[in-house]
Structure 1
């Protein structure tokens, strides 16, 4: 019999970097509007080690103890029962609806730069129509199986790291080496200290959301050599690399553009355009980079368009959804659920088009994604606390810390930070009362609608919550 090939240390590090790092967060965090400005630079370091590292180690401990599929839903189900396991799947799927909408907006903006017409990025109608076309075309293809998407997903894995490295290198060359222009920002303790206002609070919740996803690599904790030593070492190494990309990327963009001119939706490409002007590089270079980012966005869309659907509608308890939504075709895809998802995303895109400006729309969608995506982590941290308190210790399994009380304390710290970031997401940040009312209705109303609708679906099904004893 053959033996399962062990995951190497370097492979686990790269897996974490690929899963967590996203170039679009650099402009989002350093913009004055909906961002932290220069304070985004130290914030990436602080929240990497406050949020990502402990989250990854906690997930690894749960994955080592319960090796079914290592999903958040499984761990929450073990702690609190089938009702809350379903709620996790529901929250993950609904959060992806907002994520799709924000990513489609980001795609449209990058495509406008790729076509050499950046002005299109400011057209709400162009962004809306293109987003609708893309989601429906990709939804149609996803029903036929996703083999065609392998090219996009393979190329897409490079779509964040390479543009970031190019931006860092070009900014350093233009400002530091060749001195083509003075730095657009002055880096001092005062200028990099976060200001306690609405934009900062919303931006911090976005940074915390950007660091979620550690559960993906944690599921491989049993497949690496010497996990007790290598897993935390890999997490710290990956955290350091991701931090370096975010910090140097943030320094690069703010050295080329003042924070007042950085837009969350177009900042990266605006920075590259300005750097090209300083270095005498033709703008076709920016079009090539935009094409690479566009491919990465398409790859991410293809990867996620069917996965949460299959988990929710394919694996959930029978009786919650009508059979027509759970029935699958010859490719194992629930077609009706895919269509429902495309309809909801279309309505969401049309609704946020009421807000002023593409950049505002993009920021609101990203913030709504952060708010809804953090809900499942509240249940995850509660599950970890309960399991850590009750589970019997087993020799040889990876644990974040042997001290039960310390593990529980870390769980509570992560829970408080997560709840605080959810509350911060809904802080009013728009320029006038009318826009703030629309914003709050969409943020708070959307979040409550997501939670309550999931609980309603479970109650309507008549299913009982089954809770097994923790072993």
Structure 2
């Protein structure tokens, strides 16, 4: 009777697929793919990345989540169980460190959204000297560091509301864009050539150095790992959830790309790359409003949802990854005691100061860029290089898990495949693809951007190596 009641409370696979879709996917991913890969030429690349990277990655996450269903630390817990505590520290450090760049981009994105929400464009904002825009970004960043140090729970609620509304607007954009030609047939839509050549990418330097954008876009499935065992019959239904997720993401990417192709000419986009990278989603919603005769209404709604989302994500990204890193079991063994200091609000105050130094330093450093659009474009690319580095630990944990399959699998856990050779092959393949895309993504014609793309992960890696050494010396002195 109890088992029957428990099963009735468990999720069906479409529910998990929909939850995962809202976590993993966003309208910005569609826009970035369209911009970086010459419009409709990105469609084939999306299909390849879904089939050869995303689906295996998601299924590996499912297996790890199923085996370690009682672990609350996510990837760090998986690494701790399969390899050991020191490697778990490095996994936790990587998860925290990649957010340094992400945090820097949230302030920039929030201010840009405010400009669209107030003025209906970014003409005035982009005309300001870069020093002014970066000082404003720094001020916003420092303010939200202060907010994070005080712990404001309402921010999480605002983030959930903004995230849900952004997700809904992304779906509505695609639906409304396809309906627009019937409602306003004389609005001057671009005609799309269905010639095969318009869907085959140009395999050139730009293509390979932009692949990190696609890998970054489809990552994040590890966030759904706690829900694997909340499914009815996980071994059968989790693969269905992931295939359903992949289908929804693929449909959204393809239909969204075609919708954007009806609005924007890739040649014009390539001629004004930084402008479209910085403002693409706003420009799309602005055009959509014009097609429906409501002016900038849709753009204003999107802009303010994005402002709330960007600033709340800024606070959460300062606080949550820091708590995961410094609140872990490994923290006391590998991290200096001063960084573990907690203030009266329960915030890791010295950890926040470390973020101030690293993210704040990156914001100040970017003041030498020619304009605010260039700063935004640089942060988008830098994020795509750094953020996927956390996915490496998923593949490492999976390979380690399969090496110890007899120890961890009890016959009731979900398994991606029964074939060990296939499991190893897919794990190593995911590792190679992620490393290759991150390394290729570092290339840039601009010397400063190239140096920043290379130096940022190196500095973060070295800092992660230095902290255990400092902790070791502290322990030696105490003894």
Equivalent residue number for residue 468 of structure 1: none
Tell me if structure 2 keeps the 8 A contact 1:171–1:275: yes
Tell me if structure 2 keeps the 8 A contact 1:143–1:331: yes
SS in 1 for 2:397: helix
Q: CA offset at residue 96 of structure 1?
A: 0.4
Q: CA offset at residue 127 of structure 1?
A: 4.0
1:353 to 347, 353, 367: 367
Tell me if structure 1 keeps the 8 A contact 2:183–2:292: no
Q: Give, in whole Å, the separation in 1 of the partners of 2:243 and 2:125.
A: 38
Equivalent residue number for residue 415 of structure 2: 399
SS in 1 for 2:210: helix
Equivalent residue number for residue 336 of structure 2: 322
Q: Give, in whole Å, the separation in 1 of the partners of 2:47 and 2:229.
A: 28
Equivalent residue number for residue 477 of structure 2: none
Structure-2 change in CA distance of 1:389 and 1:437 (3 Å): same
Moved more, 177-186 or 142-151: 177-186
Q: Give, in whole Å, the separation in 2 of the partners of 1:111 and 1:382.
A: 41
Tell me if structure 2 keeps the 8 A contact 1:29–1:203: no
Structure-2 change in CA distance of 1:333 and 1:62 (3 Å): same
Q: Give, in whole Å, the separation in 1 of the partners of 2:214 and 2:173.
A: 20
Question: In the TM superposition, what whole-angstrom CA distance separates every residue of 1:434-468 from its partner, at most 9, and x where no partner exists?
Answer: xx2211210112122222221232344339xxxxx
Where do 1:376-455 residues align within 5 Å?
376-392=390-406, 393-428=409-444, 430=445, 436-455=446-465
- RMSD (Å) for aligned C-alpha atoms: 2.4
2:105 to 80, 94, 102: 102
Where do 1:119-130 residues align within 5 Å?
119-122=123-126, 123=128, 124-125=130-131, 127-130=133-136
Tell me if structure 1 keeps the 8 A contact 2:342–2:349: yes
Equivalent residue number for residue 158 of structure 1: 164
Q: Give, in whole Å, the separation in 2 of the partners of 1:40 and 1:153.
A: 30
Question: Which one has the bigger helix percentage?
Answer: 2
SS in 1 for 2:119: coil
Structure-2 change in CA distance of 1:229 and 1:296 (3 Å): same
Q: Give, in whole Å, the separation in 2 of the partners of 1:222 and 1:215.
A: 14
Q: CA offset at residue 126 of structure 1?
A: 5.7
Q: CA offset at residue 326 of structure 1?
A: 0.8
Tell me if structure 2 keeps the 8 A contact 1:167–1:253: no
Long gaps (5+) in structure 2: 270-275, 474-479
Tell me if structure 2 keeps the 8 A contact 1:27–1:265: no
Q: CA offset at residue 422 of structure 1?
A: 1.3
Does residue 1:6 correspond to 2:18, yes or no? no
* TM-score, length basis structure 1: 0.89
* TM-score, length basis structure 2: 0.88
Long gaps (5+) in structure 1: 431-435, 464-471
Equivalent residue number for residue 44 of structure 1: 46
Does residue 1:169 correspond to 2:171, yes or no? no
Q: Give, in whole Å, the separation in 1 of the partners of 2:365 and 2:192.
A: 36
Equivalent residue number for residue 208 of structure 2: 201
Equivalent residue number for residue 468 of structure 2: 458
Tell me if structure 2 keeps the 8 A contact 1:153–1:296: yes
Q: CA offset at residue 125 of structure 1?
A: 4.9
Moved more, 396-405 or 101-110: 101-110
Moved more, 282-291 or 212-221: 282-291
Equivalent residue number for residue 145 of structure 2: 139
**Aligned residues between the structures:** 455
